[in-house]
C-alpha cells in the first residue's frame, strides 16, 4: 500500500508549482471510509488558510476554493489526506484508517501532550480494548494489554479486587497498588482486602482512555504518591456535532471452568473404611458395603451454578461550536458462579464543557455510582470463613437438602463441616456503596499561549454493610443465636488545584511548554458499627428487631491532608530533541512537622532520530525515537498519626480503660523510589509496525514498614502496642518491557493486526534494617499458624519458605545411610520422634536436613519457591473483514510458583473431611517376608500408591503435610483470555431505520487455560493485597468463564 503513498507524494510535488495562477470555484463531493460508508464530521481545509468546512451526516461537503489549491482532509482515527483541486468541481475522497496516530494526545498529569513528545515511559489502553472484553471493573482491562503492568485478580468473585503491579513490587508494606486519577480525582487502588475493590464502582464503558505512567520521570509529577505508578483515566466527553445516542448491552452467563477431582460417596466410603482399619476413626455402619452406594452429594455441583450476567449502557453526547456534553447511564448485574455471591452496579454520569467567553472555558463533570456486592459465600471479616473451602471439605454422605426441602447437614457435630450451600444461601452479607464524584473547572487564556486552570474536585463515598446470621439447623449443626451487624462508613475527599500553563513556539523550532501548579487535598473518613443479637426469628434483620441489651457499637474516624507545589518544563528543539523536567514539593499530614515536606524531581530526554535530515524522508522508518529518563518519587502510605503516641481504648468491667496504642516514630518519612528508564520507539512502514522497548532500574529506599519487632517487645496479639512504622531498607526492581504492534495484512478489505506485550521484572531486597533482615508472613488455618513466605536480603520479596521433601522411607534400609567415611548413620527424622508406627515409619516423607544436624526441626526450613514470574506476556490478534471483526487475546505468565495450600489438607489421607481423589494414592505398605513380623520396619516396604504420596497413619508425628515444596507448583500458564466476534450490520440496512451504526457481538472470556497447576486457577494474585503473600492459593474463588452476546446501536 505504501507504493500508492509514493505516487501521491510525487503527484503533490508536481502540482505545487502551478498553484499560483488560479480562480475560485465550487468544489463538492463526498468522503467515505474504506468500506464505502460515509464519514460525517471530516474537516476539510484549504491548505495554508483557515478556510474550511465539515462533512454532513452523509459525508458530503461543498466549498469554494481556488482551482489550484490543495484540500486537506482530516478526521480523527484516519490518515489525513491532501488532494489538489486541479480545477475539478467534484472530488470524492476515501480516507484510510490510520494504524497508529503519532499526533494522538495523551494525558500526562495536570496536562496533556502529543504522544510523540512524551519523554517518559507510558502506555495507553483505549476504549477499544474495553469493548473487546467483558470487564466488570477497569483493572481487568489492563490485563495482558500493557507491558510492565501485571494484573492478577485476587479472587474470581464478582466485584472483587485485583493486584496491579507496575514494574514489580516496589514496597514491602501492604500497598503496592498504583494510584488512579479519574478526571483529576485521585482514587487509591488499595483496599487491603481481596473482596473489596474500590475500582468496582467505575463503569468501564465510561472510559475513553487509560494512560499508565510507569517510570519515575513520568510519575514524579504525582510526587509522594507516584512510586507505585499512576493510572490516568479519562472518561468520555462530548464532541462537536449532532447528538449521538449509543446503546451498548450484553447478556450472558458464566460458569466455573474447571473442577477439582474430589471423592464421591463410594470413594469416600471406601477410604473411610480404610481409615477405620488404620484406627483413625470408628467403623461407619453405613459404609459396610461401599459398592452399593451411589455418587452422593457433589458439593462443587451444589455450590457452583451457571450464573447470569447482563450489562446495559446508554449514552448521549454531542455539542455545538461552543459547548459539548456527554451523559451516560449504566447497569451491570453479575451473579456469582458460587451461590451467595454477586455484584450489581448502577452508574450515572454527565459532563458539560463550554467556551463561555472567548478567553474562558468552563466545565463540570459528575458521576454517581451505586453498587451492591453479595458476599455471603464468605468474607474477609472476622474469620475468613469462605464457603469455597467448606465445599471442598464437605463429605459426599451429607445431603444438601432433606426430604422436606430444608437444608440438611451432618449427623453429628464434632469435626464436621457446615452446609456451605445452606449457609451461603441464608445468611446475609451485603456491601452497598454509593459514590459521588464531581469536579468543576475554569480555564482562562490570559495571554496567547498562557492559560490558568483552576479545578475543584470531590469524591464522596458511603458504604453500608449488612450482615445477618440467622438461626438454623443443618442436621446436627445448629445455631440459636441470631445476630445482626450493620456498618456504615463515610468518606469525603476534595482537592483544589491551580495550574498555569504556557505554550510557545519560537522561530518554528523552539517549542516550550511550561506548567506551574499548586494543589491542596484533604480526605476524611468515618466508621460506625452496630450489633445486636437476641432476635426472635429470622424475619426482620435490622438492629431494632434485636435485643437492646445485647447492643454493641463502635466507631472511629481519620483524616489526611496534603499540600503540593509542582511544575514541569518541556522543551523541544525542531521536533528532534526533547527535554522534560518536573519538580514536585509535597507536604503530608502523615508525617511530623520536621519530616513533612519532600522534593520529587525528574528529568527525561528524547531524541527523535527519524526527524533528523538523514531519516526524515526515509520510506521505511516512519518514527525512531530514543528516550532516557530519571526521577524520584515517594510512597507515603502509612496510617495517620504513626509519628505520635496515642492511647487505645479498651472496654473493661470498670468502664473504659486506656492502653498505650502504639510506639511512635517521630522520624518517620517518605519511602522514596528512584528509577531510571531507557526507551526506544520505532515505527516502520508508515506505522504498520510499531515497536516499543523499555529497560528500567528502580531502587526504593527508606522502605516503609511496620517494624517487625520481636514479640517480647509487647508488639503482638491482643493488647499489644502496635510497633512503630519505620523506614527500614531498600528494594530493587529491574526489567525489560517490549511491545510490538503490527498490521500483518491489509488487503481487499481484510485486515489482520497483532499486538504483543512482554514484561520481565526482577525484584531483589537490597537491604533490610531489621536486626536480622528477615520478614516472615504467616497463614492461619484453624489454630495452626504457619510461616509461608520469608523475605530476606539478596532475594526477591515473599519467597515461599518451608521444608524440602527429598524422598520417602520406602524400605527399612532407607532409615540409614553411609557417610563419606563409610560410617552408617541415621537419616534425619523430626526431633524426638523415633522409628515407630506412631512415629516415623515406612511410607513417610524424608525431609532435607538443611543444617545437617541430624534432626529435622524448624531450622531445616528453606526457600522452596518464588512467586515472581520469569516473564509475563500478552498476545492479541484481531481480524476485520467487511462488517466482521474477530479478536483473540491471549495472556500468560511463565516461571512463577504457586502454593496450592489447600492440598495440605485435601490430599492428607488421614483427614476426616472430603479429599481429593489423589489422596487415595497414599503409600501402601506390605511385608517383605510373609512369615516375618508385621510390625517391624525392617520387614516392611512400600508396595503401592503414588510415588510422591505418604502413608495413611493414625499418628501425624512425621507431619507429612507440613509446609513443604510438595505443595509448591509451577504456576506458569497460557490462557485464551478473550475471543470476541462482532458484526456491523451493513449501513444501508441500518440507515433505513434511522440508525448510524448497529453491531452485534459475542464474547468469550477466560476461554481456556493451559497449565500444569492442579488447583482451580494458576492466577492467584495476592492474599489481602499483601505483596508478601503473592501466589498463595488457599481456596481462592475461581474466576468464571463468561459467554456473552451483545448489541451496540448508535443513533
Partner 1 sequence: MKRNNYIKALGLSLVLAIGISGCNDDFLDSTPNDQITLENYFQNNAELQAATAPLYSKVWFDFNDKFYYALGDGRGNNLFAPYSDYIYPFTNFTETSLTGPMVSAWAAFYNVVGQSNNTINNIRNFAVNVTEDQKNLAIAEARFMRGVAYWYLASLWGDVILIEDNAAMVNNPIVPTNPRNDVFEFAIRDLEFAAKHLPETTGQSGRLTSWSAYGMLSRVYLSYAGLHGNSDPNSGTRSAEYLELAKKAALKVAEESGLELNEDYAALFTLEGNNDPEHLFTLNWVGGSTEYGITNTQQAYFAWNSEITGDDAAWGYYTYASWDVIRTYEAADQERLHATFATNGAFYPELRKEDGGYTYEETDRCNVKKGVVGSSKDTDGVVQRMNSGATTKMLRLAEVYLNLAEAILGNSASTSDAVALEYFNKVRTRAGMPTKSEISYSDLHYERRVELAMEGQYWYDLVRRAYYKQQEVINYLNNQERAVQYEFENGQYVAGDANTAQQVATATESMLLLPYPEGELVQNPLLRQDPVPYVFNEERINLFE
Cell of 285: 455402619
Sheet containing 93-94: order of strands: 60-66, 24-32, 93-94
Please identify, using beta-carbon distances, which residue of 323 and 454 lies nearer to partner 1: 454
Alpha-carbon distance of 697 to 866, in angstroms, equals 20
Rg (C-alpha) for the chain, rounded Å, is: 33
Residues 580-599 that bind partner 1 (CB under 8 A): 587-589, 593, 596
Grid cell for residue 68: 489550484
Indicate left, alpha or beta for 340 from its phi (over 0: left) and psi (-120 to 50: alpha).
left
Strand boundaries in 55-148, DSSP class E: 60-66, 70-74, 81-84, 93-94, 105-107, 112-114, 122-126
Pairing of strands 729-747, 725-727: unpaired
Exposure string of 40-72, with b = 16+ CB inside 10 Å and e = fewer, is bbbebbbbeeeebbebbeebebebebbbbbbbb
CB of 640 to partner 1, least distance (A): 7
On the CB side of 569, CA atoms within 13 Å amount to 7
Whole-angstrom Cα distance, residue 140 to residue 874?
13
Q: Does 994 help bind partner 1 (rule: CB under 8 A)?
A: no
Question: Is residue 935 close enough to count as binding partner 1 by CB under 8 A?
Answer: no
DSSP state of 653: T
Return the range that interacts with partner 1 (CB under 8 A); candidates 328-336, 558-566, 684-692, 891-899: 558-566
Query: What is each CA distance from 669 to 583, 623, 701, 942, 1027, in whole angstroms?
Result: 19, 43, 11, 60, 21
Q: Is 533 in the site for partner 1 (CB under 8 A)?
A: yes
Binding segment toward partner 1, per CB under 8 A, in 262-270, 545-553, 999-1007, 1036-1044: 545-553
**Between residue 621 and residue 680, which ones bind partner 1 under the rule CB under 8 A?**
640-641, 644-661, 663
Specify whether the CB–CB gap between 898 and 971 falls below 8 A. Answer: yes
Tell me which H or E stretch contains 138: helix 138-141
Q: Tell me the closest approach of the beta carbon of residue 329 to partner 1, in angstroms.
A: 36
Considering the complex, state which of residue 165 and residue 790 has its C-beta at the smaller distance from partner 1: 790
Query: In this structure, what are the phi and psi dihedrals at residue 672, rounded to the nearest 5 degrees?
Result: -120, 140
Question: Which residues in the 256-285 window bind partner 1 by CB under 8 A?
Answer: 279-280
Q: Using CB under 8 A, which residues numbered 30 to 49 contact partner 1? A: none
Q: To the nearest whole angstrom, how small is the minimum distance from the Cβ of residue 459 to partner 1?
A: 19
- Residues near 630 by beta carbon (within 8 Å), at least 6 away in sequence: 216, 217, 602, 603, 604, 674, 675, 676, 677
User: Does residue 298 interact with partner 1 by CB under 8 A?
Assistant: no
Out of 28, 320, 838, 935, point to the residue binding partner 1 (CB under 8 A): 838
Q: Which of 102, 356, 362, 520 binds partner 1 (CB under 8 A)?
A: 520
Report in angstroms how near the CB of residue 484 gets to partner 1 at its nearest: 12
| Residue 260 C-beta: closest distance to partner 1, Å | 25
785 near partner 1, rule: CB under 8 A? yes
Binding to partner 1 by residue 414, rule CB under 8 A?
yes
**Least spacing, CB of residue 160 vs partner 1, in Å:** 25
Contact between 777 and partner 1 per CB under 8 A? no
Q: Which of 123, 624, 833, 1027 binds partner 1 (CB under 8 A)?
A: 833
Which of 283, 784, 934, 936 is the binder for partner 1 (CB under 8 A)? 784
Query: Is the CB of 542 or the CB of 831 nearer to partner 1?
Result: 831
Residue 60 sits in the site that holds partner 1 (CB under 8 A) = no
Residue from 5, 36, 77, 555 binding partner 1 (CB under 8 A): 555
Q: Is 957 in the site for partner 1 (CB under 8 A)?
A: yes
Nearest distance, CB of residue 193 and partner 1, angstroms: 18
Site for partner 1 in 840-899 (CB under 8 A): 857-858
DSSP for 279-340? TSS---GGGS-GGG------HHHHHB--EEEEEEEEEEEEE-SSEEEEEEEEEEEEE-SBTT
Shorter beta-carbon distance to partner 1: residue 29 or 830: 830
Nearest-approach distance from CB 1015 to partner 1, in angstroms? 25
Are 521 and 494 in contact by the 8 Å Cβ rule? The answer is: yes
Name which of 546, 66, 156, 553 is nearest 378 in CA terms: 156
> Which residue's CB is nearer to partner 1, number 548 or number 822?
548
Q: Which of 60, 258, 381, 559 is close enough to bind partner 1 by CB under 8 A? A: 559
In the complex, the smallest distance separating the C-beta of residue 571 from partner 1, rounded to whole angstroms, is: 24
**Pick from 26, 413, 505, 935: which binds partner 1 (CB under 8 A)?**
413
The minimum distance between CB 387 and partner 1, in angstroms, equals 15
Task: Give whichever of 247 and 531 is closer to partner 1, judged by the CB atom.
Answer: 531
The answer to whether 622 touches 683, Cβ cutoff 8 Å, is yes
CB of 224 to partner 1, least distance (A): 12
Q: Report the site for partner 1 in 437-466 (rule: CB under 8 A).
A: 444-447, 452, 454
Pair type for strands 43-46 and 70-74? antiparallel
Site string for partner 1, 343-382 (x = CB under 8 A): ---------------xx-----------------------
Q: Decide: is 956 part of the binding site for partner 1 (CB under 8 A).
A: yes
Residue 752 cell numbers, joined: 489482520
> What is the pairing mode between strands 162-166 and 149-153?
antiparallel
Grid cell of 412 as nine digits: 453429628
Which of residues 47 and 284 has its CB atom nearest to partner 1 in the complex?
A: 284
Window 712 to 751, contacts with partner 1 (CB under 8 A): 712-721, 723-724
d(CA 736, CA 167): 9
- Residues in binding contact with partner 1, number by CB under 8 A: 107
Contact present, 205 and 137 (Cβ < 8 Å) = no
Residue 21 interacts with partner 1 (CB under 8 A)? no
Q: Residue from 101, 258, 355, 498 that binds partner 1 (CB under 8 A)?
A: 498
Closest CA to 962 of 827, 799, 784: 784
**Which C-beta is closer to partner 1: that of 383 or that of 992?**
383
Q: Please tell me whether residue 776 binds partner 1 under the rule CB under 8 A.
A: yes
Rank residues 531 and 685 by Cβ distance to partner 1 and give the closer one: 531
Nearest Cα neighbor of 417 from 1034, 913, 780 is 913
Residue 1006 makes contact with partner 1 by CB under 8 A: no
Amino acid at each position: 500500500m505504501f507504493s500508492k503513498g509514493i505516487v501521491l507524494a510525487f503527484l503533490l510535488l508536481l502540482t505545487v508549482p502551478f498553484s499560483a495562477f488560479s480562480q475560485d470555484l465550487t468544489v463538492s463531493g463526498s468522503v467515505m471510509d474504506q468500506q464505502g460508508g460515509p464519514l460525517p464530521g471530516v474537516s476539510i481545509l484549504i491548505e495554508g488558510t483557515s478556510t474550511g468546512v465539515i462533512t454532513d451526516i452523509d459525508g458530503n461537503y461543498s466549498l469554494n476554493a481556488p482551482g489550484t489549491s490543495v484540500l486537506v482532509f482530516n478526521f480523527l482515527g484516519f490518515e489525513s489526506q491532501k488532494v489538489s483541486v486541479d480545477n475539478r468541481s467534484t472530488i470524492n475522497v476515501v480516507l484510510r484508517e490510520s494504524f497508529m496516530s503519532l499526533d494522538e494526545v495523551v494525558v500526562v498529569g495536570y496536562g496533556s501532550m502529543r504522544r510523540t513528545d512524551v519523554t517518559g515511559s507510558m502506555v495507553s489502553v483505549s476504549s477499544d480494548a474495553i469493548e473487546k472484553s467483558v470487564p466488570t471493573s477497569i483493572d481487568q482491562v489492563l490485563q495482558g494489554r500493557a507491558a510492565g503492568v501485571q494484573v492478577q485478580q485476587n479472587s474470581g468473585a464478582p466485584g472483587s479486587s485485583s493486584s496491579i503491579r507496575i514494574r514489580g513490587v516496589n514496597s514491602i508494606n501492604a500497598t503496592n497498588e498504583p494510584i488512579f486519577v479519574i478526571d483529576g480525582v485521585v482514587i487509591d487502588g488499595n483496599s487491603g482486602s481481596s473482596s473489596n475493590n474500590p475500582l468496582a464502582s467505575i463503569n468501564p464503558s465510561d472510559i475513553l482512555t487509560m494512560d499508565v505512567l510507569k517510570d519515575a520521570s513520568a510519575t514524579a509529577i504525582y510526587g509522594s504518591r507516584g512510586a507505585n505508578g499512576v493510572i490516568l483515566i479519562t472518561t468520555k466527553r462530548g464532541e462537536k456535532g449532532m447528538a449521538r445516542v449509543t446503546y451498548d448491552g450484553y447478556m450472558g452467563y458464566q460458569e466455573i471452568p474447571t473442577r477439582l477431582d474430589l471423592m464421591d460417596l463410594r470413594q469416600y466410603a471406601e477410604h473411610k473404611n480404610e481409615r477405620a482399619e488404620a484406627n483413625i476413626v470408628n467403623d461407619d455402619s453405613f459404609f459396610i458395603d461401599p459398592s452399593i452406594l451411589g455418587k452422593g452429594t457433589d458439593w462443587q455441583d451444589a455450590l457452583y451454578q451457571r450464573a447470569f450476567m447482563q450489562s446495559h449502557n446508554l449514552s448521549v453526547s454531542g455539542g455545538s461550536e461552543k459547548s459539548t456534553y456527554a451523559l451516560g447511564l449504566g447497569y451491570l448485574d453479575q451473579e456469582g458462579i458460587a451461590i451467595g455471591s454477586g455484584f450489581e452496579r448502577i452508574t450515572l454520569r454527565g459532563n458539560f464543557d463550554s467556551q463561555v467567553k472567548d478567553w474562558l472555558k468552563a466545565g463540570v463533570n459528575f458521576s454517581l455510582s451505586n453498587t451492591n456486592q453479595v458476599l455471603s459465600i464468605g468474607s474477609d471479616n472476622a474469620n475468613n470463613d469462605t464457603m469455597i473451602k467448606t465445599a471442598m471439605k464437605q463429605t459426599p454422605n451429607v445431603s444438601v437438602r432433606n426430604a422436606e426441602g430444608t437444608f440438611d447437614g451432618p449427623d453429628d457435630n464434632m469435626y464436621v463441616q457446615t452446609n456451605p450451600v445452606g449457609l451461603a444461601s441464608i445468611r446475609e452479607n451485603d456491601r452497598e456503596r454509593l459514590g459521588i464524584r464531581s469536579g468543576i473547572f475554569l480555564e482562562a487564556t490570559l495571554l496567547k499561549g498562557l492559560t490558568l486552570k483552576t479545578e475543584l474536585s470531590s469524591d464522596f463515598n458511603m458504604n453500608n454493610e449488612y450482615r445477618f446470621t440467622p438461626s438454623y439447623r443443618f442436621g446436627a449443626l445448629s445455631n440459636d443465636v441470631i445476630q445482626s451487624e450493620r456498618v456504615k462508613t463515610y468518606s469525603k475527599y476534595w482537592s483544589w488545584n491551580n495550574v498555569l500553563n504556557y505554550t510557545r513556539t519560537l522561530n518554528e523550532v523552539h517549542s516550550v511548554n511550561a506548567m506551574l501548579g499548586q494543589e491542596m487535598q484533604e480526605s476524611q473518613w468515618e466508621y460506625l458499627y452496630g450489633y445486636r443479637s437476641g432476635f426472635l426469628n429470622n424475619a426482620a434483620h435490622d438492629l431494632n428487631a434485636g435485643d437492646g441489651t445485647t447492643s454493641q457499637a463502635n466507631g472511629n474516624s481519620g483524616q489526611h491532608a496534603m499540600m503540593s507545589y509542582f511544575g514541569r518544563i518541556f522543551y523541544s528543539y525542531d521536533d528532534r530533541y526533547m527535554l522534560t523536567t518536573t519538580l514536585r514539593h509535597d507536604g503530608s499530614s502523615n508525617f511530623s512537622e520536621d519530616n513533612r515536606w519532600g522534593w520529587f524531581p525528574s528529568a527525561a530526554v528524547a531524541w527523535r532520530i527519524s526527524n533528523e535530515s538523514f531519516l526524515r524522508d526515509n520510506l521505511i522508518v516512519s518514527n525512531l525515537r530514543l528516550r532516557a529518563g530519571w526521577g524520584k518519587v515517594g510512597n507515603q502510605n502509612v496510617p495517620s498519626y504513626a509519628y505520635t503516641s496515642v492511647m487505645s481504648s479498651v472496654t473493661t468491667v470498670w468502664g473504659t480503660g486506656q492502653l498505650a496504642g502504639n510506639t511512635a516514630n517521630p522520624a518517620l518519612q517518605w519511602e522514596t523510589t528512584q528509577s531510571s528508564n531507557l526507551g526506544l520507539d520505532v515505527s516502520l512502514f508508515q506505522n504498520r509496525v510499531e515497536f516499543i522497548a523499555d529497560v528500567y532500574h528502580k531502587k526504593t529506599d527508606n522502605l516503609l514498614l511496620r517494624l517487625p519487632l520481636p514479640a517480647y517487645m509487647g508488639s503482638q496479639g491482643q493488647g499489644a502496642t502496635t510497633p512503630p512504622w519505620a523506614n527500614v531498607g531498600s528494594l530493587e526492581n529491574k526489567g525489560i518491557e517490549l511491545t510490538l504492534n503490527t498490521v500483518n495484512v491489509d488487503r481487499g478489505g481484510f485486515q489482520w493486526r497483532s499486538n504483543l506485550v512482554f514484561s520481565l521484572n526482577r525484584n531483589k531486597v537490597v537491604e533490610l534494617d531489621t536486626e536480622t533482615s528477615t520478614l516472615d508472613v504467616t497463614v492461619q488455618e484453624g489454630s495452626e499458624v504457619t510461616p509461608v513466605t520469608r523475605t530476606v536480603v539478596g532475594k526477591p520479596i515473599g519467597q515461599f519458605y518451608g521444608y524440602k521433601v527429598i524422598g520417602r522411607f520406602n524400605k527399612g534400609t532407607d532409615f540409614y545411610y553411609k557417610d563419606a567415611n563409610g560410617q552408617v548413620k541415621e537419616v534425619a527424622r523430626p526431633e524426638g520422634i523415633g522409628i515407630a508406627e506412631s512415629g516415623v515409619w515406612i511410607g513417610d516423607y524424608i525431609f532435607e536436613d538443611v543444617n545437617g544436624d541430624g534432626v529435622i526441626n524448624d531450622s531445616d526450613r528453606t526457600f522452596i519457591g518464588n512467586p515472581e514470574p520469569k516473564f509475563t506476556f500478552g498476545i492479541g490478534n484481531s481480524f476485520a473483514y467487511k462488517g466482521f471483526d474477530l479478536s483473540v487475546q491471549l495472556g500468560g505468565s511463565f516461571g512463577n510458583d504457586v502454593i496450592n495450600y489447600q492440598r495440605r489438607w485435601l490430599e492428607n489421607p488421614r483427614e476426616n473431611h472430603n479429599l481429593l481423589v489423589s489422596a487415595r494414592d497414599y503409600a501402601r505398605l506390605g511385608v517383605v517376608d510373609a512369615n516375618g513380623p508385621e510390625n517391624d520396619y525392617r520387614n516392611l516396604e512400600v508396595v503401592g500408591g503414588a510415588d510422591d504420596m505418604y502413608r495413611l497413619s493414625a499418628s501425624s508425628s512425621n507431619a507429612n503435610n507440613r509446609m513443604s515444596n510438595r505443595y509448591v507448583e509451577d504456576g506458569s500458564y497460557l490462557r485464551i483470555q478473550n475471543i470476541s466476534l462482532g458484526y456491523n450490520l451493513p449501513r444501508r440496512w441500518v440507515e433505513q431505520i434511522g440508525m448510524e451504526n448497529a453491531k452485534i457481538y459475542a464474547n468469550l472470556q477466560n476461554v481456556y487455560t493451559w497449565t500444569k497447576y492442579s488447583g482451580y486457577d494458576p492466577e492467584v494474585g495476592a492474599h489481602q493485597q499483601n505483596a508478601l503473600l503473592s501466589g498463595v492459593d488457599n481456596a481462592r474463588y475461581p474466576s468464571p468463564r463468561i459467554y456473552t452476546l451483545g448489541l451496540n446501536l448508535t443513533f
